[in-house]
Structure 1
Amino acid sequence: MPGRLQNRVALITGAGSGIGLESSILFASEGAHVLLVDLNLAAAERVAALIQERYPNVKAKATKADVGKEADIKAAVDLAVESFGRLDVMFNNAGIMHPEDDNALNTEEKIWDLTMQINLKGVWWGCKYAIQAMRKNPTDESKGLHVGGSIINTASFVALLGAATPQLAYTASKGAVLAMTRELAMVHAREGIRLNSICPGPLKTPLLMDFLNTAEKRDRRMVHLPMGRFGEAVEIAKGALFLASDESSYVTGTDFKVDGGLSSCYVTATGEPALAPPTSLA
């Protein structure tokens, strides 16, 4: 039985760890050829090698890129098309949460600018060059390939809720990702190019765990999580797979929440965790 992304071509940024790593493996397991993009080339190469070993019928290639540099993103998109013939899925996933990101009084301009450069400009450039590539996609019904494509942008639950523990630049950048994604989705809907944001809740990934570097910080978050646990990167990857596949063919312009109910919670749930976390694909 063909996979949900059979013969599709996907480019994933931040593919060397966390959500990007899990998504790269999951997309490949569903038949996609994957270009893994990361600033840490060695990490991306390890994931690409794992994919090739585990799924020999698909192709995986790693490349180094700084998503805060437009030329790097353009080169990555060009490489995907050159290597695999087209681009069907663009997952703008890479981002930062700077440890010195604070409130309006304490956040330095350089931290604000760096966060916007990567989390917002990087997503804008990823959309820009993916759209250009997807416009050129030929239609090949015999292979189940369609004109257009799917662009997925990683936002965050903090784009929907205010946080009493401030990370102002990060929150502002993710809110902007939501607004930008909605507008681009409307502009390009008639071209068959779908754009959606995915809004993860707090995850047990290095990005957040390095930020929540004390038990006190972690416990302060944990008490608000309805399921009683942090999410896992593989759970976000499964949401991204839905948005990448034809199962979401009538879905565009959405803020897709994968947050364990956090953004819908008023009174914190009590009791033991309802669900055990899934196993990583790595």
Structure 2
Amino acid sequence: MARARVGVLISGRGSNMAALLYASRLEGCPYEIALVAANDPQAPGLALAAAEGVTTFARCHKGLKRADFDGLIDAELRRHGCTHVALAGYMRLLSPGFVDRWAGRMVNIHPSLLPAYKGLDTHARAIAAGDGHGGCSVHLVTAELDDGPVLAQCPVAILPGDTAETLAARVLIAEHQLYPRTLWEWIAGANGPEALLTEVRARALALPEAREKLSHGTPGFHVEGGKFFAYFSHDRHGDAITSVLVRTSGVEEQASLIERDANLYYRPPYLGPSGWIGIRLDRGDTDWEHVGDWLARSWRMAAPKRLTRLRDIADRF
């Protein structure tokens, strides 16, 4: 299975970036670090990333409007094929447009047990409040500061005599453990076969009179009383590919699609000679709107005329 390509944004030493990078080299890790970008060309983490062979990008944000600077970062992330973004000590508020473009695909690590102590000075505030624990949280990034859904947390005991600095040092150790594990599990879950099948199933069964049925051990989707219009395939022929198979107009269109993007489309065994096409779901960057469009088109090819006529009428409105 192709690994998700993560872009890491930093502003300083990049210790959490390093933790993510070294975890990405462990066997079975579902992600790789494709880019490390910083808003400070002097950020020490850039030198570490470059020494480890990771592509870097740096540009000072001063003098640029927030949205314009974020546009530069966004362009670099996309140019390097990033599918996810991890903020690792990135000391910049993000523009709404940037957050929207990476919604559901961007995470951050924050040095508190959210929802407590959003923003800065988290350790000093936890000590001043008399808390028994500080800690860290990994959360999805949303438009509100440190307000996205929490994916995982790790508490760290506050000891007698702790200062913000001594507590921060221990929380950082916890961050280095929590962030790689959470990113690993989050990406693996989102790109695992069960999660991908759930996405395909939701779109396929939303079509009129669509039903699910196993076919030779493979989940298939057909029109009630009619033909199959899609199959979900996971490592079906020992090829480690996870995909959805749909109908095309024939082998000529099939060949044209593969020629256009051989990383996305492929000719599946058995059904390929009939003009079916495989659309890969295991690359970490699935365009689910595109998949939904193909399912709907394939459904039209399999559905009886009584249903397609009704669908045509509905589409006019």
Q: What is the TM-score with the length of structure 2 in the denominator?
A: 0.40
More strand by share: 2
More helix by share: 1
* Larger RCO (CA within 8 A; separation ≥ 6): 1
Higher-Rg structure is 2
Q: What is the TM-score with the length of structure 1 in the denominator?
A: 0.44
